[in-house]
């Protein structure tokens, strides 16, 4: 999770995560959407991509969630692109 507030007006935070298969990407996507809908009554404002493409973005306004397959995560290199952002949480 990156704090991008000092760097951008598009959102406050980026959450960047990976799954190793289409099934895992689908499960991650579904769990995020279902949990936020159930626990905080939030739906994404916009969704882009699909698990079978290796990349899904869930736009919740102040938080944007990027779900990547390993190849696409290396291709987009969001952590490098936003290297000035402050990491809030890092789990490996």
What domains appear along the chain, each with residue ranges and CATH number? 11-83 (3.30.460.10)
Query: pLDDT per residue over 4-49, tens digit each?
Result: 999 999 999 999 999 999 999 999 999 999 999 999 999 999 999 9
Cβ atoms within 10 Å of 19's Cβ, excluding its own = 20
What pTM, to 2 d.p., does this model score? 0.93
Q: Are 25 and 19 in contact (CB under 8 A)?
A: yes
**Dihedral, 23, 64, 84, 25 alpha carbons, nearest 10:** 0
C-alpha to C-alpha distance for 9 and 42, rounded to whole angstroms: 21
Query: Which pLDDT score, from 0 to 100, does residue 91 have?
Result: 83
């Amino acid at each position: 999770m990156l704090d991008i507030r000092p760097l951008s007006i598009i959102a406050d935070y980026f959450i960047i995560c990976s799954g190793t298969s289409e099934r895992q990407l689908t499960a991650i996507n579904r769990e995020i959407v279902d949990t936020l809908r159930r626990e905080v009554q939030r739906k994404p404002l916009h969704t882009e991509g699909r698990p079978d493409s290796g990349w899904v973005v869930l736009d919740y306004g102040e938080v944007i969630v990027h779900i990547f397959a390993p190849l696409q995560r290396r291709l987009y290199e969001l952590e490098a692109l936003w290297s000035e952002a402050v990491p809030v949480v890092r789990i490996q």
